Structure 1
Amino acid sequence: MTVSMTAQLARVATTGPLKPILKSPSSIIGVRRSRDEAGLDDGDSDAGTSEGARSPSRKRVRVEFDLDNIEIYEIGSRSVEEIRNEIRDALDRHTQGEDEDYDILKQTLQGKSVSYQEDDDDDVIDPVAIAKQRQELKGYYIALTAFASRLGRSCDGLVKGVLQCQWLGRDDQFAKIYIQFLAALVSAQGPRLTQVLSMIVDKFCSSRLSEWAVEGWPSVPRGAVQERIHVALRYILRLFPVAESILDPILAGHYPFHEDPKRAHLAYVDNLLRLRQYSPKLRNLIIDLIISRLVKIDVEMQMDLDDMDDTLAAMVGMALKSAQEHEHQDEEDSDDSDNESVSSAESEDDEYVRVKTAKENIEKMDSILDSLFELYTPVFANPQSKEAMDVFEYLLTEFSHLILPTIKSRHTQFLIFHFGQQSERLMDAFCGTCINIAFESQRPLILRQSACAYLASFVARGAHVPGHIVVKVFEVLGYHLDEMRAVYEVSCRGPDVRRWQDLIRSVPEDVDKEDPLSYLDQEIEWECALPSSSTNLLNLRTTSDLIFPIGAYSNGGALRDMSFDVNDESWQQLGSYFPFDPYQLPKSKRWVDADYLPWRPIPGLNPEELGDDSDGEEVDDEDDEIDEDTATEEGVEGDD
């Protein structure tokens, strides 16, 4: 039995009662000190065993840390109680207007205190002194927990400093202590919840070691950093259910700006999808946020490529190909190589910036869409299930409100294209949605035309759409057209041909200006060359234009001529807008390759008969592969 992803995520979110995140059998506050200082024999190498807890059997003492039980342990040469007294005095003096000790405390809590050295003239820092300082910082946060109720508005500066502490780059024990302090702070100071959540979400974009590393502490791998972020966030959400409603606008506010680097976007989306696993209330909101930002990238990428000449488009393809060759390098190395692969020029001139921006946008689109395809694929393992239908209905909502109204959306719609072909029931749902929008008179005309384009493109390009579905679509369209004819035919009036007279310079004498039929087959002299015969007017749009231009993809047309422009009146006429043009994003195209029917000429039809626009191009009927290269395709040719 296949278990869908949504069910798996729901199971994660309901895994029983909350367990203390600081429950760690070996987590004793303290450091391994010298034998004389700690009172340990040579044979005892356990760190953190306090003097009072030692027994003849020399067993390791186990301590559980939880929110309501903060015990006092010895920290180096100082106890937690001593540190508490120091914090109490600093807060008391701050209340009285004396901030010297308060400012020192703020600096200490940020981890910026001066390192211990045996000799001021010695550049080498004593490792024992470093260990003391690390452990004292842990002691400060344990002690500060007892004063959470005093950290109100008057202590905004101290709380701000605490939230700026680089806790992700320290050891596991410090991270647990810090997370527990955050929980105590929010419990005692409810308004601080927004600050705490903002601080955690701000870490979503972190992807480089330099962004969390702390000097003097062992380096922490990216996977461990990401785990700490979500341990903290999950803990806060489960302790304070109201946090989910507060988190929604925070997630939107911290989403990377459009011009931010690819690595920031990918890291943020990855963390959003992890959050989605344990926050059922935010699942749809997270997808809505991702898709809305994805559509914006999609449009900008399309507009950038539309404005490029073939040389710049080729440079984008070469940059993508170079990036693929370095795909398995470390994150930081690949970032450097990405920049170098765009151009050999050392200075970032206008062309370099344009190509780099287009390349990064393509990669953002590609990776994020790949993640969304992977996320939803298990849900549609059983496309007949209620769960699959529920998810698809939500995708349809996203399609109707975000994708359909967006001019030049090029790739985001392939989510609905792919999953909509998983069953006839889903196909029917998508086609029905498009038809409903197309024939709702209160909808804007441009939106209704877009729905028609999506419907036509889906039926024409969907490899898994069976013939009887196509027939059904035509039957429904015919029914609606008959209804429209019945409504409008009675009052329908032809064009007022008398307006033509304004454009006429002269006519033969036997023409009766009151009788439009008398103008037929007459030699008419026009004021301008615009009026023409119906045959010439129809030739403004040839048959090849109304379908797919044969050479459109070889020159980048599939990427750069995707849609209509609201300022261009040609959208009011029949056009060649096909929302499901060939999908060529290098990484994520694997999901839709089997779903897509490429354009092929009608057997026996000479392409030269399609019109002058064909430029005499010939199509080899025996060639199964139609040239559909795009700017993105250039970078991936030969890798499939």
Structure 2
Amino acid sequence: MSVYSMKTGLSSILKAYSPTEREKAKNIAINKVRFEMPKLKGILDAVEAVNEHNNFQPLNEFVAYLREAELSDNDFLRLMSDAHKLINDLSPKFTNLVEALISLPWTKRQPPALQAYAEFYIDIMVAHNKYVQFGIPKLISLWIPADGDAALWPNGSPIEALKTELEAVHRLLDRILTAIPMSFEIVLEAIESKFPYFKKATHVIAGYIHSVLWLIEYKPIFTEFVVQLVLQKLVLLDVNAPRSEIEETDYDDEELEENENAEIFEMDDCPKVGNIFAFLISLTTTDDDVQPMKHPIAHTIDICMEKMFNFLNTKNPNLLNASAEQKLQLNKFWKILLSAFDNVILPSHNTHHVQFLLFYYCSFKNTIAEAFLTSLWDKIKNPNISAVIRQAAVGYIASFLARAKFVHLPVLKYYLKELCNWAHQYIQSCDQYRQNGSLKANIVFFSLCQAVFYVIAFRSRDLTVDRKSLLFLQSLQLSAIVTCNFNPLRVCLPPVATAFAGVTRAYQLAYCHAILERNARRKLATVYANDVATPEETLDTFFPFDPYLLKLSEKRITLHYLQYQASEAEEASVVAGHRSPRRQRKRGDSEMLDDVDDFIVADKRQRNIELARSQEREAQFTYGLSPGFHM
């Protein structure tokens, strides 16, 4: 009974239908209206009825028929042939008809039908530009794999049959972009708006990225937009797959124990043999041998990163016999990639894997790596850039210098010298004006100091290899930085401070342990004052090139990635009987937490016993994440 009849007391004249009866009546109406009458009259009669008699009923019935019918290749070919004859008559009042025609399934049809569709599509778009607004998004939507087509997209790449279908779509888009220059803006909007939601199935996102990268093969003008858009989407995936979740999901206790046991048999005395062995393993390991990530978003970004690494390989500047034009294009691509890093990755907080695209591309050529470092250093020095970006740049330059095997020692020393000179100048200028010494007011300085400590501790084996290198470290005047009024060690992450203190003590560069002890006592006094927990300030540090956790794509990074190794002098200082067994640790824990004793000279072992208590107190107040001293 309707609301009106309830108010008036009259019974409703409307007959109530059950859902089954309603669906049956709907099917009868569809069969009567959409499959019989329109098919007899056809598109020619429907258009003629509108133009001659202003009668839209046959047209509406024919449009409804097109939206429901399953046409054979012959019917489809005849329909496109008839529609092509009417192109000049299909003015904007026939928008519904044109939209229905170009929405018909066409990619799986025979070549003559494909050709007929393409000719109609191009000619209707050229004749009536208004239809481009929905015509191009219809093409872009064909890039999106269906949810149930995972088997057709192994590791994010289409099988041959599907690749042939996509090729027809891209060929048609190429033609429309050439014929209608105004369509470029519409393509940009459509690509961005059609990008799948980040929680969609892996093959859906990776398949769409596959076509987006395919676009710039025949239309390089889209390169800047595509690279930046894809990085934005990868960052979104990356931040939604936290490192802690990946470790819990994909690295269980048994695997961690296997990794621990494997470390016992590493070829420490034969590093060259070990590197060759690792290289041979990477060659014989296929993608089929790698188990997919259990974390769903991590699996998606793993597949997408593999696709991006393959894409970067096509832009390798070491291509043999590259022409002058190709070299110019590759140089332009590097600038586009660096700009996308500055605009998308650098300002993003807590990404874990996307930044390795820059790491991988820098491994191609030393000049690219040096250009990347120069770009970061210019940002750090520029006081007009926000402190947040400058701090992020410090984290990137420190992590890159520590982890990149392809960064030569002279480059490493150059940037250590530049960083230390900047720190000394900052200390002198602040002493002159007596500025505020808080962490917030001097965040760039404190971040830079920790970066210096981190790089020296991490690369100590290379930086202490001979007398010349030790003289270089002495020239940095590290003691002046450590003992300045800012006391940078108080805000450093404890593993970084402890590791740096061990290196400087071993080579008599600075004496940090007394400062660490004093800082630890101050923290205790602060925490227990008035029974209120107010811990000392600690840097919120980000080490962007910490170990890569994605299983399929990590092979691209392994050969260029530096694992932490203590210096020979520090290793010689270890007294085996005084070392406690290694605790089982998760992947991602600091290497320094296991190897603190490696940084202490044997002849000062007695003092270490006294220092241990203060270090234990200090460890209670560890607020930062791992500084990246990973195996």
TM-score range, shorter chain: 0.5 to 0.7
Are 1:301 and 2:260 matched, yes or no? Answer: no
Q: Name the residue aligned to 1:7.
A: none
Moved more, 365-374 or 381-390: 381-390
Task: Give how far 1:289 is off.
Answer: 1.2
Q: Name the residue aligned to 2:397.
A: 455
Amino acid at match of 2:237: I
Are 1:432 and 2:379 matched, yes or no? Answer: no
1:392-419 Cα shifts (integer Å, max 9, x gaps) = 2222111111111111111111122122
Q: Name the residue aligned to 1:402.
A: 344
* Aligned counterparts of 2:373 and 2:312: Cα–Cα separation in 1: 21
Are 1:596 and 2:561 matched, yes or no? Answer: yes
Equivalent positions of 1:210-609 (< 5 A) are: 221-302=161-242, 305-307=243-245, 310=248, 313-314=251-252, 356-377=295-316, 385-493=327-435, 541-543=494-496, 573-574=538-539, 577-605=542-570
Amino acid at match of 1:155: F
Are 1:112 and 2:69 matched, yes or no? Answer: yes
Amino acid at match of 1:593: T
Task: Give how far 1:251 is off.
Answer: 0.8
Task: Give how far 1:582 is off.
Answer: 2.0
Contact 2:403–2:563 (Cα < 8 Å) also in 1: yes
Task: Give how far 1:295 is off.
Answer: 1.4
* Aligned counterparts of 1:255 and 1:386: Cα–Cα separation in 2: 31
Cα 1:298/1:432, change in 2 over 3 Å: same
Contact 2:401–2:412 (Cα < 8 Å) also in 1: yes
Cα 1:380/1:581, change in 2 over 3 Å: farther
Unpaired segments of 5 or more residues in structure 1?
Answer: 1-82, 116-132, 214-218, 319-324, 343-354, 497-533, 549-568, 621-629, 631-640
* Aligned counterparts of 2:119 and 2:182: Cα–Cα separation in 1: 18
1:176-224 Cα shifts (integer Å, max 9, x gaps) = 111111111111210111211101110011368979x9xxxxx992122
| 1:102 aligned residue (59, 63, 78) | 59
Task: Give how far 1:234 is off.
Answer: 1.3
Contact 2:362–2:372 (Cα < 8 Å) also in 1: yes
Contact 2:317–2:330 (Cα < 8 Å) also in 1: no
Task: Give how far 1:247 is off.
Answer: 0.9
Contact 2:303–2:552 (Cα < 8 Å) also in 1: no
- RMSD over equivalenced CA pairs, Å: 4.5
Contact 1:316–1:358 (Cα < 8 Å) also in 2: no
Cα 1:465/1:538, change in 2 over 3 Å: closer
Equivalent positions of 1:80-229 (< 5 A) are: 86-94=42-50, 96=53, 98-107=55-64, 109-110=66-67, 112=69, 133-206=72-145, 221-229=161-169
Report which of the two has the higher share of helix: 2
Unpaired segments of 5 or more residues in structure 2?
Answer: 1-38, 153-158, 257-284, 439-486, 502-533, 581-589, 600-625, 627-631
Q: Secondary structure at the match of 1:143?
A: helix
Q: Secondary structure at the match of 1:437?
A: helix
Q: Secondary structure at the match of 1:490?
A: helix
Task: Give how far 1:428 is off.
Answer: 2.3
Moved more, 181-190 or 602-611: 602-611
* Aligned counterparts of 2:211 and 2:197: Cα–Cα separation in 1: 16
Amino acid at match of 2:49: R
Q: Secondary structure at the match of 2:546?
A: coil
Amino acid at match of 2:338: L
- Percentage of pairs with the same residue: 17
* Aligned counterparts of 2:286 and 2:432: Cα–Cα separation in 1: 67
Q: How many residues align?
A: 432
| 2:593 aligned residue (605, 609, 614) | 614
* Aligned counterparts of 2:565 and 2:105: Cα–Cα separation in 1: 59
* Aligned counterparts of 1:469 and 1:105: Cα–Cα separation in 2: 71
Task: Give how far 1:100 is off.
Answer: 4.1
Equivalent positions of 1:22-101 (< 5 A) are: 86-94=42-50, 96=53, 98-101=55-58
Cα 1:537/1:411, change in 2 over 3 Å: closer
* Aligned counterparts of 2:307 and 2:145: Cα–Cα separation in 1: 17
Q: Name the residue aligned to 1:634.
A: none
Task: Give how far 1:170 is off.
Answer: 1.6
Amino acid at match of 1:87: I
Amino acid at match of 2:228: D
Task: Give how far 1:443 is off.
Answer: 2.1
Contact 1:106–1:161 (Cα < 8 Å) also in 2: yes
Q: Secondary structure at the match of 1:177?
A: helix
Amino acid at match of 1:374: N
* Aligned counterparts of 1:537 and 1:187: Cα–Cα separation in 2: 69
* Aligned counterparts of 1:149 and 1:231: Cα–Cα separation in 2: 24
Cα 1:311/1:364, change in 2 over 3 Å: closer
Contact 1:266–1:367 (Cα < 8 Å) also in 2: no
Cα 1:450/1:539, change in 2 over 3 Å: closer
* Aligned counterparts of 2:336 and 2:535: Cα–Cα separation in 1: 33
Contact 2:87–2:123 (Cα < 8 Å) also in 1: yes
Contact 2:498–2:596 (Cα < 8 Å) also in 1: no
Amino acid at match of 1:411: H
1:221-255 Cα shifts (integer Å, max 9, x gaps) = 21221111112111111211222232111111111
Cα 1:539/1:263, change in 2 over 3 Å: closer
* Aligned counterparts of 2:348 and 2:46: Cα–Cα separation in 1: 57
* Aligned counterparts of 1:578 and 1:586: Cα–Cα separation in 2: 20
Contact 1:151–1:159 (Cα < 8 Å) also in 2: yes
Task: Give how far 1:454 is off.
Answer: 0.7
* Aligned counterparts of 1:252 and 1:571: Cα–Cα separation in 2: 45
Cα 1:103/1:260, change in 2 over 3 Å: same
Moved more, 99-108 or 607-616: 607-616
